């Protein structure tokens, strides 16, 4: 079940490498197994899911604006988005500076950027709940603040270069299924779940279902490793993954 082929580092992987290079001491994930982790999926090698490699072309793009240590956390689900959505961009957030490449991306005429954030905290004239019809040749780019909720609110307030963008306020009908971190509110979705909802809005339901199924498989492997149990390849998460794979025929998605 190991990683039998090299994966090209995606945007979040590259950001993690850059962040590690700036670290004065090794990052130790809280509450997990200490020791070796697969560089491709961040799981312990015995629970690696790199063989799934579910990257898909999509009309939509994802732009992850990540709080300082988010790229280092094994529980971060922005990594999963980059595994699935080919056009995923990732940038570290800092209050006092902004990456010029982020500004260039937001100004790129091929993209129409939307900041994904709860509308209750935003002036009503900026808020949209559905995607408008975009001019021909323009693609939606979903800007997500990948952080804890308190961090995300601070990032939103202190990022003036986002102020001219419309804010997409989602109204998810389902409660979060994310189990790797605690939230005080069940309606707070993890970043990967938010990306799935955004893909649904663009009509890309296969990509949305793939990302959700991939999150479920990752969560299962993460928790099984945490409790020193083998992954259940016949369990619910893998059964759902196989169902998504069948629905996508003749497009092929791998199995473990």
pLDDT at 175 over 60: no
Query: Which pLDDT tens digit goes with each residue over 74-102?
Result: 889 999 999 999 999 999 999 999 999 99
Q: Which residue has the tokens 């509308």?
A: 119
Alpha-carbon span 91 to 136, nearest angstrom: 27
Cα separations in angstroms, 39 against 7, 12, 36, 92, 115: 9, 12, 9, 19, 30
pLDDT at 156 (0 to 100): 96
Query: Which pLDDT tens digit goes with each residue over 42-81?
Result: 999 999 999 987 889 999 999 999 999 999 998 899 999 9
Residue from 239, 240, 242 nearest 255 by CA: 242
Residue 173 buriedness (CB in 10 A; 0-12 / 13-18 / 19+): exposed
pLDDT at 26 over 80: no
Helices (H), 2-99: 11-21, 78-84
- Which tokens belong to 157? 């307030």
Q: Which of 99-113, 136-150, 186-200, 204-218 has the lowest mean pLDDT?
A: 186-200
Percent of the chain with pLDDT over 70: 84
pLDDT at 3 (0 to 100): 44
Cα separations in angstroms, 77 against 83, 132, 171, 216: 10, 27, 20, 11
For the entire predicted model, the pTM comes to: 0.88
Query: Which pLDDT tens digit goes with each residue over 189-200?
Result: 889 999 999 999
Task: Tell me how many degrees the CA angle 125-126-131 measures, rounded to the nearest 5.
Answer: 115
Q: Which residue has the tokens 């938010």?
A: 194
């Amino acid at each position: 079940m190991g990683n039998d082929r090299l994966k090209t580092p995606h945007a979040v992987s590259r950001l993690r490498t850059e962040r590690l290079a700036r670290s004065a001491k090794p990052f130790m994930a809280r509450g997990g197994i200490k020791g070796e982790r697969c560089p491709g999926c961040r799981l312990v090698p015995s629970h690696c899911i790199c063989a799934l490699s579910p990257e898909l072309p999509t009309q939509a793009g994802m732009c992850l604006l990540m709080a300082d240590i988010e790229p280092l956390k094994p529980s971060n689900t922005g990594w999963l988005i980059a595994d699935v959505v080919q056009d995923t961009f990732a940038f570290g957030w800092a209050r006092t500076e902004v990456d010029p490449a982020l500004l260039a991306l937001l100004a790129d005429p091929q993209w129409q950027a939307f900041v994904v954030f709860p509308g209750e905290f935003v002036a009503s004239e900026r808020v949209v709940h559905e995607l408008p019809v975009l001019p021909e040749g323009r693609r939606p780019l979903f800007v997500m603040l990948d952080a804890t909720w308190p961090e995300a609110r601070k990032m939103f307030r202190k990022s003036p270069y986002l102020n001219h963008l419309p804010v997409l306020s989602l109204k998810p009908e389902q409660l979060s299924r994310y189990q790797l971190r605690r939230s005080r509110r069940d309606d707070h979705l993890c970043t990967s779940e938010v990306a799935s909802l955004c893909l649904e809005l663009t009509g890309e339901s296969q990509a949305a279902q793939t990302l959700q199924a991939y999150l479920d498989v990752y969560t299962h492997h993460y928790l099984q490793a945490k409790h020193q149990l083998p992954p259940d390849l016949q369990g619910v998460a893998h059964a759902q993954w196989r169902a998504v794979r069948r629905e996508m025929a003749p497009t092929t998605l791998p199995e473990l």
